[in-house]
Structure 1
Amino acid sequence: MNDMRPGLDLRPAAEPAPEIRNYTMNFGPQHPAAHGVLRLILEMDGEVVQRVDPHVGLLHRGTEKLAESKPFNQSIGYMDRLDYVSMMCNEHAYVRAIENLLGIEAPERAQWIRTMYDEVTRILNHLMWLGSNALDLGAMAVMLYAFREREELMDAYEAVSGARMHATYYRPGGVYRDLPDHMPRYKESPWRKGKTLKKFNEWREGSLLDFLEAFADDFPTRVDEYETLLTENRIWKQRTVGVGVVSPELAKQWGMTGVMLRGSGIEWDLRKKQPYAKYAEVDFDVPVSSGGDCYDRYLVRVAEMRQSARIIKQCVAWLRANPGPVMVDNYKIRPPSREEMKESMEGLIHHFKHFTEGYCVPAGETYAAVEAPKGEFGIYLVSDGANKPFRLHARAPGFAHLSSMDAVIRGYMLADAVAMIGTYDLVFGEVDR
């Protein structure tokens, strides 16, 4: 029987409406599209990103502190291992800083070689970026195409330094050695007898300069192939057009450099604005796009590869016509040649002294920057007159770009965050240091 007492309601109370809350998720550091050791903590409203908190330091190796405990010439190899896709460009900034404090300048031929290999490095970097970024967004074939050309240029690295990646080829006062007169060739495999290698060795019949000239002549047609796969591909454009828009004001506020600036319509390139090496003497254009989205940055990088091939051809022409020394004739800076080392005890002692104790650099401070493939890579160097740096700091473009991630990605979808991370072109050796 129902209780009819006044004021008593036995009906079940209505449940309060559930409170809608954002949830957080980890993106990386094991995520395949996190480019290694990036960890993002994303605050999500469904599939929409509300907040991004980048966590760095998972690849921190104390590079700047290690450099303070070693003679100047023993830290060149550490520069290779910062942005390990832009090796010689990192070396270039470091040796330029040392040369500034020493008050020396590399011979003209060495500067042309540096200019040429900076552009070889730029192509290597952009090919890695193109292949990995396309793979992040679901395009598989581009990676295979890009690595086909990377293999050719890695052989050019190996020909001058003996190493395919960490070259340590640039030295204060010049470069390690002059360009070789011949390129290594492919040899017939014992398991594939009778297979002709003539086509593979066609560019390798002459010197390194002949090889690079043949590559630079052929490379624009290869870039055409990449563009055939991507530029007008509707899926590629749906994933990149209007995604990750960086306005010119935002780019300047966050200290962006390189393609991140030029993709937003700001024509800033250290090779033009503050020329170093022989960039003032070569003819090239600075690609700029005005949209500021992922697609614009893709277009700028593709155009930069074409310009790099153009610069390489000009460097090859000059180097062919102008032999000369590639290292300063200063025994305090350069090690003895093998002939000098074997001819006298003095040369042998000088060799060991150079590679163990090194040389003292006058007290002072300097900043040297280069237009690396990812942006402005600079070295701030302080010397107290000893044989090792008192202080070294690397200005890594990727660190400034990563810092802007919350401001740029907020409001986009989770899948757009993958596209944006890719277009930043991050390498965590330089971000974490």
Structure 2
Amino acid sequence: MRSWSASDTVRLPGNGGPLRLHDTVTGTLRTTSPGPTARMYVCGITPYDAAHLGHAFTYLVFDLVNRVWRDAGHDVDYVQNITDIDDPLLERAEANGEDWRALAEREIEVFRADMAELRVLPPRSFVGVVESIDLIVELIERIRACGAAYDLDGDIYFAAESAPRFGEVSGLDREEMLELFAERGGDPQREGKKDPLDWLLWRAERPGEPAWETSLGRGRPGWHVECSAISLHELGVGFDLNGGGTDLVFPHHEMGAAEARCAIGTGPHAQLYSHVAMVGLGGEKMSKSRGNLVFVSRLRAQGADPMAVRTAMLGHHYREPWDWSDAELTAAAERLERWRAAAALPSGPDAMPVLHRIREALADDLDTASALAELDSWAAAALAGGAGDTSAPVLVRDTADTLLGLRL
């Protein structure tokens, strides 16, 4: 599947330091230690709507990871999926009276445009489920071969009892798992399952639903197995970072980790799991089920500067839930204009300390608030006037662009 266009970045003087991130599995800050190429997988959208601000915040966060790693001298192999076949997509297409493929194609194109306008660096591989059916079937066959799968009326389930490390990602107890599984697309009440926590790997064909002819029979994949198959194929076992929103910790990443361990027989699926807090509106989590969504594409259509949208999001730490408001965008636009006015001056205060401190802030668990405060301080000093360095505005512009993804 085609990705989106990449924005240019400038090589900054020197190199940034190693990145520390919060690891969901251990609950601690860990220093990432990728090799020459850092490998990162981030779960993508289900395209029955384009990106709302909760999605955009997640992809912005992992865009920062990408930028910090690159600034530290690593190449980055970034992979992202698109769930272009799933129940919510089919339900929305039926409600709209349109073909599910046309709906997915349209919303994926809006998503691409949103990401490009927000200056999110594109993944090397942007992969849809539909184009990955063979990979997914192959993984399910491997899970079957290790004895972890069973058939139920033509459907294929993963037996949770076959995963001795089940719970390693989320750290949840059984009751918490059951509650979240029911809320997040699971079927704990289905009769005939060996355990309510067993999850669907392959859904046998139902009347009126799309299906593919495979060695498993006619049908389509369950949800979690798509990311296991795509990530293992594209990045291999034990890649550096698996990311997404906090709503993916369980069941999605927990069950994906179990599938991968079963299929590969060794090591963790990913070295580190990192998750982004939810964005709310009016005190409630922004979600499609509630209908309280703010879409990036609609903000752009209303004339919002994508860099102001990005600035507003950068003002929040990725592990802290926060609420979007019109006031957020207004304040961010004003802040951005001050930076731009200062960066347009013929000279300004020495910018090397700014570069150094922004690097330090981002390497420390993506402390974006401190990074933006450095831009505020430099801009205030520059706008106050006085003698300055003619190279400073250029370095500030390059630093904001390369490290923060902000075009000043």
TM-score between the two structures when normalised by the length of structure 1: 0.24
RCO greater where, 1 or 2, for CA within 8 Å and sep 6 or more? 1
Larger gyration radius, structure 1 or structure 2: 1
